Every structure is written in C-alpha cells, then in structure tokens.
Structure 1
C-alpha cells in the first residue's frame, strides 16, 4: 500500500475513534485497535503524527485539531458534534465541546500564544466567545492531514521561480555549502548572502537547500507587506510551511527598490527557520554573512564549456576571451551559448551575445558612445601610440596574466586596468578611448565626474557605486571626464566635507583597481591632480597639442573617402592653430557648406567654416593662419 492511501485510511480510522468518543457509542476499543493496526502497517508516519510532532501539540490539542478536521471531512462526524452539544443545528466543533468530551483538557490550549492559534492551525469564528464559537481548521492544514502538499496560496504570489538544481561553479557551490553549514550549526536562522548577480545567488541558495535537504522557496522582498502585523502573519505561515514541507526560505532583495532590504531583514528576523537573504550589495543585518566572490577563470571556463557542449572544443580561444571579460550569471551564460550555437560564426556571435546581455543600464549616470573610431583615426606621437597599444593588451590579456600566470595570487590590489588621459581639449582623449573600446569590441560609457560629485555627503559614493555595479558584468570601458572635480589637490582636511571627499576618492580608486574592464580618467589640467592619486593608476598618457606636422596629418584624414574634395592643401590648413577636435568640427561644417553649394569641398569652404568656429571660440582668425591659402 502506498503512503498516501495508507495515510487516508489511518485518518478515517482516527476520526472514527474520536467520533465514538464524542457520542459515547459502542465499539470504541475495536475502533482504536483497528486504527493502531493501520498505523503499524504504514510505510512512514501518518501526517497527523508529523503535524503533532512538528507543532509540538499536546494530546488534547491534537484531538481538537482532529475534531475540526472531522467536521470538514465527514457529515456524520458533524452530526455527532451536534448531538454531543444537544443542539441539532450546531454541526461544528467548539472549544467547549472539546473541554467537555476530550481527554486531559485545559483552558490555555486555545489562547493566541498556543500552537493551535499561533500557527493558525485552527481559527475561532468569534474569538470574543471562545467556548461556543465555531472552531474551524485552516484549509492548508486540512489538506496536509490528508497527505496533499502544496504551498500556501497566501505565500505563492510573493514567490520567484527558482532554477533547477544542477552542477554549480565552484564559488557558488562553496557559498551554498557555507550557508548550509551555518544552518546546521544553528548559529542563526538567517544568513546574508551577497556579492554576485541575484540570479547566481539564487542558484547558490538553492544549492544550500539541497545540501541541507530542504525544499527551497524564494520570496521577493519588494512585494512583502508593509504593515508589521501582515509580515508577522506571513512569518507564521512560512514557519508553518517549514514544518509541513521542510521548506527553507530565500528572500531576494532588489537593491533598486527603496526600503526593500529593511523589509527583507524584518521578515528574516521574525523567522526561526532556515532563511537566507540574498542581495547584490551587502546589507547591514544580524546573522552570519557569506560573500560570493567573482568566478575564477577556470571555473568560468568550465561553465562556458558545459553550456556550449560539444561545440566548446572548437571555441577554446573565444571561451578564454569571454570568461575573462564578462561576469554573467548562469542564466545569461545559457542564453549566450544558445545564440552562439545557432549562428554561422559561433565565436563572434558568442562575444556579441555576451556584450548585449552584459550591457549595463546606466541611464542618468553615464552616456553611451558608439565606438566607431579606429587606430588610423589617431594622430599622436609614437610614444603615446605605443602606450595605448600596451594599455589595450593589458585589458585583452588580463585573465591570462593575472590568473593563469599567477600574478593575482601575489597581491590583492591593483589588478584592474586604469589610465589617466591628460591634455588640452580636443587633443584626442575621448577618441583614444573610443579606439580602444572598438579594438576590444566593448561598450564605451562616458561619466562626467563633475555631475557625479554631489554636495550632499554620501551621494557621490552612491552614484559611483551605481556606475560600477551596472558596468561590472560586461567590463565596459568607463571614461570618467573632469577627473580634477574629484582628484584635485587637498592640502589639509578642514571639515567633515573634506574628510568625506577623501573617502569618495578612496572609494573610486578601490573600485577602479578591482574593475575587470578599463577605467579611463581624463583631465585638461594634470597639474591640479594630487600625485598620491596618480601613483595608483597604471597608465598615464599625455595628449599634446598637435604641432604643424601633426595638424597636417589630421587634415589628411579629416574627410571620409566618399567626400568629394578639390584642391585641399593640408600644409596650409595646418597653419590653423587648433587641436584635432576643432579640425574635425571645421571639416564637417565645410562639408555642409560645399553640399549646399553643390560643389566638392574646397579651401574657401574651409575658410568660411574656420571663421565660424573661431567666432564661436571667441578667437581671432589671424592673417598668419591663412597666409598662402588658395580660396577658390
């Protein structure tokens, strides 16, 4: 006989014994003997015993619960209750009936603090008259007695779909084992788990539940009730599910929702069962903390090989690149792998899918720039170009050198790639960042530090955290303009704002040093920066104002091949003492003038455009700068 059938037969027999006890009819001993025989034959304890033990019910409390179940399941039992109360219309259980007919009765069995009502196993229709009020069993408990298991409908709408248990990367598996170990030691019902994208933390938490032999259920903290009494009811229902189904609770914090972490911690504090609160960022709360660090290179490669299956053998080089560049969750890895396997060029498709899935949401914090420029668009001295190529190599081979070749094990800091680009406006700082991003096939975002820095204490750090957290998964190229807004020299700390400004600088440097992508700081005034800060940056590239020969070369590259030109003289144009950015603006304006006149771009179009640009800059266009120009 299967357990479900045996359990239901046992429940019918137990109700029959209780009915005879209420009615005082014959056959009580035979009914009790039959019930006991059924119990001995069961393959596992009946649900009634599990509920009795799990909620620590006394015999009297158990029989009260069983009496309420009998009324709900059997009309004959309901009529027996009416007869026992000498009132044919009272076909329901009451506390007064239990006190009169059941063994070892006591008044406190039905107080709100007693297990029957604390765990909402039964409810009084009219609590103000507890002895005569109808006493009804909770529907979830009634079904549990019959052996039917499901999640309470009052909890179900708050839940999140969980991944199927399966092999986990080493960092996630180890984190899950740590959480389960805390639960086993009963150090605290709640463990705080953080440090990775929430989908990965869910997987680690599911791993903890598997290790602990518990059934996982994940709740969205953003949807938790705001009223304390409602959260307290939810906590009791959750604890009740743990008794009924061996459930462990995962509470998921959305860092973007105000007050979300407070609600999560409040619910966790009310629970005295295995609970883990997961969040991308660490939150302040009681209980053990487990941080999940970034995936090691070998672990990341193993995840990609698993996702790509047999095709992984031919994509080793691409796997090395994406494992080192992108920090994707398990779901995103599966999505990227599926897209790559469906494409003709699997390697390039894999990279592009990762880039799309990791693309950060930086609305309001940064400006996205489409990297279209190439190395041929840069006109710089040989030394600067060599350093920029070296900088690109550092980003491309970061994992090989730091992890595969062991350099990361030697130091815990300075593992990120950070650079300072200094020089006058228009000399190519942003263009160089665009070239590097294009070469690496990465997204480029410009962050204006003068806008990020806030006069309100703590806001700057919050803004910077938002930038890095959003960009971390894809290792985008971050271009921080106006670095002197935050890195200016500070001779002494005069007040709390100065002290906090130093904290903000330290926070930015800390995040830059740990960032898996490239962070570029730009400034027009390098001399205003504190040398102590500059020493912590790996590269410093000065973009000089271009001399005449450099300006001539920039003019030679100023127009796309498709642009019709006639009689342009780069040497003569180089007499304009302007940087490359201004040259590009003049060239574009001249192209519009030529198009409007239906002509190819000629020197007179450039002269007109130069006059307009100089007027905008409030500079005189000197005779020396246009001497020898042919303007026809």
Structure 2
C-alpha cells in the first residue's frame, strides 16, 4: 500500500481530506446550534464548508483516507470518528466546536459520546476493543471516568498517513532496522528464494495466517540476503528485529505485535526475526517469542543458526549452505578479474581448502585490493612493497581466507567448551 507521492496526488489528497473534514465539521456546527453554548458559527466564506464535494480519485490512486478505510475495513461511522479526531489536529475550529457540542468549554476534545450524538449511522459496536479503530490502534483513548467520556486522539502515525506522509512507527524504529538492498545471489540461493516466494504466494486467502518461514545457516549475511530478496519479489519491505528485543511483558508484547500487523497493512512491511542465540533465552523470553509467532498476522522469516520448532502455526524451514564449489569458483574469478587476473590459476586451490560464502569471497578480495593499494603507496615512496605483493599474492590470499574462515572455527570451539556446562 505504498503511496504515489507525486505533486498531483498530494494536491488531490489534501483537497479530499479537507473536504471530508468539512463534512464532519458541519455536523459539529449543527450540534452546537442545537445546544446552549454560543461558540463559533458557520462562516459562509470558509472553503471547508462551502466547497462542493469532490469525487473519489477516479483516474488516480486512492486518497490516503480511502486507502485506510479499505485496508482496515472501516464503516462510515468509524471513518467519521477518525476524521473527528484528525480534525482537532488539523483544523483549529474543531476543538471549540467539540466543547460547544458537549456543553462544556473545558471538554474541547472528541469523545465516543460526542461521536454517537453528532455523527450519522452511529452504532455501539464501533466502540468495542475488537472493532477496527481500537484493535488496530488507529485512535488512542485518554484517561477518563467512563469509556464514552474519555478523550479520543488519533494515532500520530495515522494522522501523518492521512496527509500523505508515511513513516515507520517510532516504537518499532527503536527496535529494528531497515534492510539495505541485497546483492546478487548465487543460483543455489536463488532457488531458495523462489521456493519461499511460492509458499507465500500460493497460500490460500482462506488461511488466516501465512506460514512462518525459517532460514537456518551459519552465515548471517547470506540468510539476510536471501530473506530480503524473497520479500522484494513479493513487494514486501523487509525489516529486521533481534529476537532478544521482543518485550516479555504480555501487554507490551501485544502492542508490538499489533503495530507490526499495522505496518504490514499500511505499507507491506515483513519482519525478519534474527534468532542467533536461541539457546541463551530463558523460559520467559521463550514463552513470549512463541506467543508472538503463533498469532502475528504478518509475514515473518526467522533467521537462525539452529532450527526452531513452533507448536501450532506452520513453520517451514530451509537450510542455507555455502555456495557450491562451482559457484565459489565463479565468484572468485569474477572478484579477481578486475585487479588480479593472474591469480585465477590459484582459484581451485582456494575453493578446495576454504568453503566461503559469496560475501566472504568478496571481503577477501576487497582486503587483498586494499593491501595492494597500500603497497602501491609504499612503492611510490621508494619502498619495495609492490614487488613483494606481486610475488606473494597467492600466499596473501591464502592468509586472508584463513582469517575469514577462522570465526566459524572459533564459534565451534566456544560451543564445544560451553557444552559440559549445560549438562549440570
């Protein structure tokens, strides 16, 4: 649901929103005229009250308001409650009109009782926590003695959305991170992408939840690249979140889940949940994660080194291995061709001794290139480094590859050392 943010759309969207606000404003003015409060009367020169009603966006994308109503299936009454709350933020005349309609100058804010009294097609069920406005957190209910008399406020993100400006919810910004455009994948990893896309694409619409997808492997960069590419193929926007940042408090966890679901509905965000240290989670954290995954109504891909099981919701796992020997050979040849083509004869030796990912190979070549540039600088100062690099390039690449592969060995050794402690 990404906006077309060109100038024509913005202008039409603004006019349409102001027109709809004027319609709700008129309802408030009529309520004020029927009451005893003598506030602001109707201004015949105000374009908000005198402009003819504009047609829907017939030849262009829907307005933000119409898109929001379709996305969350808002009724006409729910739509007008949202406009009533937006009006207080966007039009200075709304607050005194609310106070006038409620008969109290101090109550210059919308309430459910006001909405039930002045808006058309009012019905009580729209106030329920399971109804769209509250379930998707489109509005917030302030402190008050009763539900109907408590102040109502539109969610800030939704307010900006109506005006044509999209931004990620601030709570989620503090928890996760956007994913950069992934680099080109090797064919074996592309096969995984196609399988993942097919599973989600072919899931029947009658299914309430998409299956959870899980990528397992030791190369976190490859997992992320595969997951983000699969999201791109489906026009989902990938966003990463470390699993340890999920709150364990049930109330806050449900709020985070609701916000992620809303982000998916608003702008097709998919969640890439990084689960690198599942074995370090305590019972409370594990319970929170399970509950989150069982019920979230949004696309989720788990990225982990170890397999995770889910009790009820379908979880489909893909094992991500390093590129095949032939793919590694081609990656080495491509990476070396533009600065050290004479080393291509040593590629078979590197492939036979080191099992590196595509990013590992690119990183090794980048480091070799940087050392070559440093050597050229030394040579320009009268040193002998250039000749030394040229003569020792195969050995240099060997050492770089050994260092690239070492973290996996160190991690394996650490797990082995920690294993006896788990037995006690």
TM-score range, shorter chain: 0.7 to 0.9
CA distance, structure 2, for counterparts of residue 87 and residue 236 of structure 1:
35
Higher relative contact order (CA 8 A, sep 6+): 2
CA distance, structure 2, for counterparts of residue 355 and residue 256 of structure 1:
28
CA distance, structure 1, for counterparts of residue 72 and residue 50 of structure 2:
24
Q: 1:366/1:137 Cα in 2 relative to 1: closer, same or farther (>3 Å)? A: closer
**Residue 234 in structure 1 maps to residue 256 in structure 2:** yes
CA distance, structure 2, for counterparts of residue 40 and residue 338 of structure 1:
51
The answer (yes or no) to whether the contact 2:328–2:356 under 8 Å persists in 1 is no
Equivalent of 2:94, from 53, 67, 77? Answer: 77
Q: Which residue of 2 aligns with 1:571?
A: none
Equivalent of 1:3, from 9, 24, 27? Answer: 9
Secondary structure at the residue paired with 1:113?
A: coil
Q: Which residue of 2 aligns with 1:57?
A: 74
Q: Which residue of 2 aligns with 1:291?
A: 319
Q: Which residue of 1 aligns with 2:299?
A: 274
Q: 1:129/1:298 Cα in 2 relative to 1: closer, same or farther (>3 Å)? A: same
The answer (yes or no) to whether the contact 2:336–2:344 under 8 Å persists in 1 is no
CA positional deviation for 1:359: 0.8
Q: 1:266/1:310 Cα in 2 relative to 1: closer, same or farther (>3 Å)? A: farther
CA distance, structure 1, for counterparts of residue 410 and residue 101 of structure 2:
71
CA positional deviation for 1:100: 0.7
CA distance, structure 1, for counterparts of residue 170 and residue 361 of structure 2:
33
The answer (yes or no) to whether the contact 2:368–2:397 under 8 Å persists in 1 is yes
Q: Which residue of 1 aligns with 2:366?
A: 338
CA positional deviation for 1:257: 5.6
CA distance, structure 2, for counterparts of residue 333 and residue 306 of structure 1:
10
Equivalent of 2:330, from 266, 277, 302? Answer: 302
CA distance, structure 2, for counterparts of residue 157 and residue 326 of structure 1:
38
CA distance, structure 1, for counterparts of residue 73 and residue 59 of structure 2:
22
Residues 446-468 of structure 1, C-alpha deviations (whole Å, 9 max, x = no match): x8xxx8985x9x859xxxxxxxx
- 1:6-405 aligned within 5 A: 6-24=12-30, 34-37=52-55, 39-40=56-57, 43-126=60-143, 128-160=145-177, 162-186=179-203, 188-255=210-277, 258-259=280-281, 263-285=288-310, 286-308=314-336, 310-311=338-339, 313-342=341-370, 343=372, 344-345=389-390, 346-360=393-407, 366=413
Q: 1:194/1:362 Cα in 2 relative to 1: closer, same or farther (>3 Å)? A: closer
- 5+ residue gaps in structure 1? 368-446, 461-632
Q: 1:85/1:167 Cα in 2 relative to 1: closer, same or farther (>3 Å)? A: same
CA distance, structure 1, for counterparts of residue 62 and residue 317 of structure 2:
37
CA positional deviation for 1:55: 1.1
Q: Which residue of 2 aligns with 1:602?
A: none
CA positional deviation for 1:122: 0.6
The answer (yes or no) to whether the contact 2:57–2:63 under 8 Å persists in 1 is no
Secondary structure at the residue paired with 1:40?
A: coil
Larger radius of gyration: 1
CA positional deviation for 1:202: 0.7
RMSD: 3.0
Indicate the larger mover: 10-19 or 241-250.
10-19
TM-score normalised to structure 2 length: 0.79
Q: 1:325/1:62 Cα in 2 relative to 1: closer, same or farther (>3 Å)? A: farther
CA positional deviation for 1:41: 6.3
The answer (yes or no) to whether the contact 1:22–1:101 under 8 Å persists in 2 is yes
Residues 119-168 of structure 1, C-alpha deviations (whole Å, 9 max, x = no match): 11111102651211110011111111111111111011221452313321
CA positional deviation for 1:17: 1.8
The answer (yes or no) to whether the contact 1:265–1:277 under 8 Å persists in 2 is no
CA positional deviation for 1:278: 1.2
CA distance, structure 2, for counterparts of residue 34 and residue 315 of structure 1:
74
- 5+ residue gaps in structure 2? 1-6, 31-41, 373-388
CA distance, structure 2, for counterparts of residue 29 and residue 452 of structure 1:
72
- 1:437-456 aligned within 5 A: none
CA positional deviation for 1:191: 1.3
CA positional deviation for 1:273: 1.4
CA distance, structure 1, for counterparts of residue 50 and residue 400 of structure 2:
68
Secondary structure at the residue paired with 2:105?
A: coil
Residues 64-86 of structure 1, C-alpha deviations (whole Å, 9 max, x = no match): 01110111122112222222223
The answer (yes or no) to whether the contact 1:20–1:26 under 8 Å persists in 2 is no
Aligned length: 375
CA distance, structure 2, for counterparts of residue 309 and residue 73 of structure 1:
59
CA distance, structure 2, for counterparts of residue 295 and residue 196 of structure 1:
13
The answer (yes or no) to whether the contact 1:217–1:248 under 8 Å persists in 2 is yes
Q: 1:136/1:170 Cα in 2 relative to 1: closer, same or farther (>3 Å)? A: same
